[in-house]
Amino acid sequence: MSGKLTFTMIKPDAVANGNTGKIIDHIIGKGFKMVAMKYTRLSAEKAGEFYAVHRERPFFKDLVDFMISGPIVAAVLEKDNAVSDFRDVIGATDPSKAEAGTIRNLYAKSIDANAIHGSDSDENAAIEASFFFNAFERF
């Protein structure tokens, strides 16, 4: 049985474009409960740590520069089968390949500015959530 929690970040493009509210509504409408949420800004150091798994990829510097370009919204979401169901809700990493009606299809412009992040495993969901929230901040 998969876990009940996943982690998400609404990225700087979606926040800057005024899509935060619509995206939160979309997520709740798909049956996810927000158990923690924070409007914040990443430092270069923190963005680099968050995406450390991509450190050797050619897009790493652009990814970090983009993620620190403006505020983000970090959240922990609860639902049965949370990680996999949420990845279905956000759609493919490249918005041109994201299915109609997914968050990236609706709100993302490019593979870099792709509106939203979703954890890819239960293990990473726990690691990523702990980046932004301690146990007492979760409800």
| Nearest Cα to Cα of residue 76 among 12, 110, 126, 23 | 126
Q: Tell me which of 15, 117, 129, 132 is the catalytic residue.
A: 117
Strand partners, 72: 40
Q: 61 or 139: whose CB is closer to ligand CMP? A: 61
Which residue lies nearer to ligand CMP by CB, 13 or 133?
13
* Residue closer to ligand CMP (CB basis): 49 or 139: 49
Binding mask 1-20 for ligand CMP (x = CB under 6 A): --------------------
Report how far residue 45's alpha carbon sits from residue 12's, in angstroms, rounded to the nearest whole number. Answer: 17
Q: Rounding to the nearest 10 degrees, give the CA dihedral for residues 68, 69, 73, 75.
A: -30
- What's the closest the beta carbon of residue 125 comes to ligand CMP, in angstroms? 13
Touching ligand CMP, residues 94-113 (CB under 6 A): 111-112
* Least Cβ distance, residue 69 to ligand CMP (angstroms): 13
| 93 scored as a contact of ligand CMP (CB under 6 A) | yes
Q: Is 117 a catalytic residue?
A: yes
Let me know: does 85 contact 15? Beta carbons within 8 Å. no
Residue 27, burial from CB neighbour count under 10 angstroms (0-12, 13-18, 19+): buried
Query: Which residues are CB-contacts of 134 (< 8 A; sequence separation ≥ 6)?
Result: none
Least Cβ distance, residue 112 to ligand CMP (angstroms): 5
Positions annotated as catalytic residues are 117
